[in-house]
Chain A
Amino acid sequence: MSETFHEFVVQRSPALSRTAYLLTGDHQHAEDLLQSALARTYRHWRRIHDGDPEAYVRRVMYHQQVSWWRRRRVAERLDATPVERGGGDHTEDTALRLSVVAALGRLTARQRAVVVLRYYEDLTEAQVAEVLGCSVGTVKRHGHDAVRRLRDLVPDLWEPTPERSGR
């Protein structure tokens, strides 16, 4: 059992690490999140390894992240102050990437999960609702709120800079 689990982790941990990072916006938290999800997966490996263990891990991560966020009672930042752009020595894409990561950190855990599932995992709203265990309406609301806030925080996502549009 340990061998198979080990193979699974070796093969899938890069992708799972990326998702974890997007969900937390912090490498340390992402590592903890992935470790916690994999530990739980290991405990139930016998039951889930014949199915879709990666989906199980992702689902655990989404729920764990929301749970941690609740437990830490992270103050929800409702201000719409645009996040700082990436450092001046970065390219425009790098700067935008850093801004997006910073902006994700200002969303609630649920909003961030919706954004990652919708725009990174490319799931439909119905699929997101199924993963998060909520209604489609709730997904729509979180998605709407998240996009609205991202628009305020990172206007470049919707308003291409002249340099970029000029390329």
Chain B
Amino acid sequence: MSVRLREALREAAAEVPAYPVHDRAVRTARRTRRRMAAAVAAVLVLVALVPVAARGGDRPSIAPAGVDGPALPDRIGLPPFGSLHATDRPRLGPAALIFSGQARGLTGLIDEDGTVGIVGADADRYRTWTVGFEAPAGEQVLLSPDGRRIAVPAGSPGHPGIDLVDLVDGTVRHLASPRPGSSLTRPAGWAPDGSALVVRDTTAANPEGSAYVDTLSLVRLDTGRAVRLLETDQLPIFGAPVAFTADGSRLAFQVGDKVLVTGTDGRQVTSFPLPPESGLAGKGAWLPDGSLALVSRDPDTTRWRLRRVDPASGRDLGVLALPAVDGVTTIRLLGWWPDGSALVVGYRPDPDSPERFDGPVDMDQRTVYPNVQTVRVLGLTPGAATPTTLLTAPDQVLAIDVADAVVRAGRVRAADPPSGPGGRFWWAAGAAALVLGGLVAARLLRRRRVTRGRAPRG
């Protein structure tokens, strides 16, 4: 049978003409070569571009303070998709500000993951840091006075602590809670020289967890030694905000409807009750003359002002000669511009919020995310009729913290927030291109080996 099959095959093949394919085969081969060369060139270009893109063009890898020093950008954008993280190379260097909220890039795809945006001190280089839960900048995530570190709540409920993320060298130092048994630790304030951190702890008061106590401690970062400033039953407002004097020897903080002033050794100096619809102004609450600034709302309005009080007695020293801020849920005092202007954060109300902000609302509720649409940094210049808008932010950027160094510098720079994908995206794209190139090369190599090894005989 195989004989007949062989004969039939040979007869079938005998009448087959020689196909004239030489020229077309050569053209096809040359076209394939050109395409392969183009593909390889594209991969090489992409790979070559990755470090450049990740570095942000020809910008320096570390920004010390810039040519003109730190400055406040006049606007911020949202972190680009695939932004570099705070500890990624190239390092960011000191930051001008940090911000958080519920805008794109500041939350997870599905749930709230509390990403904090970080902007460089002298240029629009953006980084991010993911806290893992809602943590407003300036309240639970704090930028150090020199802009070099951010203090972020971290750890687990059994072992809470604070991560100190260094933006200059990329290291992360974990600070364990100073309060034994604590279930939640949050930073509350930086000492002016960055050598100490005020820390808030919440601890179960009984095994059932039916009651909690709040603890405020001052932790020295060099020795880790903690000084307990206060411990009370849990209160809605506790140790927020914290304001250090310029020399760092005393600090004021709000607890409930009172302001307490203590030394860094924990010794209470004074305390006084707050008037209705007012609060300690913010981390910049100490005035150069030694008085304290409060924020207060004009009755039945959304207009907020700064006023002075005597820190010893709480006696009202009158409204500061600064413009009022209208149409906000509240304001928070960041510090003082060199020309005497107050730098404040204005919280614009969310139109969908059920709260009426011209009526009584607890101070801690005036800055919660659902009640805020966006934030502005405003300059309140003595003698001016209205505030000056120094920084704008996209909607749903709901909290912001500015480094003291930037406040002291007193400069605003024209910002140009990055657009397009961030550095991590380009690294991932480069890695994917490399893998793809490797697979293609391996495939070509394998084909070549197989072809060599299995050539038909005869």
Instruction: List chain A positions with a Cβ less than 8 A from chain B.
Output: 2, 5-6, 9-10, 13-14, 17-22, 27, 30-31, 34-36, 38-44, 47-48, 51-52, 55-56, 58-60, 93, 96-98, 100-101, 115-116, 119-123, 127, 130-131, 133, 147, 150-151, 157-158, 160
Contacts and interface: CB of A to CB of B under 8 A. Distances in A.
Contacts of A6: 22
Interface of B: 1-2, 4-6, 8-14, 16-19, 21-22, 24-26, 28-29, 32-33, 448, 450-451, 454-458
Contact of A93 (B11, B17, B18, B26): B11
B443 to A, nearest CB: 13
Contacts of A121: 456, 458
B449 to A, nearest CB: 11
A51 B457 CA distance: 11
A5 B23 CA distance: 11
9 contacts: A2-B26, A27-B16, A55-B457, A100-B9, A115-B9, A122-B6, A130-B456, A151-B1, A157-B1
B13 A21 contact: yes
A131 B455 CA distance: 7
A100 B5 contact: yes
Interface of A is mostly: helix
A43 B8 contact: no
Contacts of A133: 450, 454
Contact of B16 (A18, A42, A58): A18
Contacts of A18: 13-14, 16
B6 A39 contact: no
A127 B25 contact: no
A157 B29 contact: no
Contacts of B13: 18-19, 21-22, 120
B18 A119 contact: no
Contacts of B28: 35-36, 39
A123 B456 contact: yes
Contacts of A96: 4, 8, 11
A101 B5 CA distance: 11
B9 A119 contact: yes
Nearest to A129: B454
B168 to A, nearest CB: 53
Nearest to B14: A18
B11 A52 contact: no
A40 B24 CA distance: 12
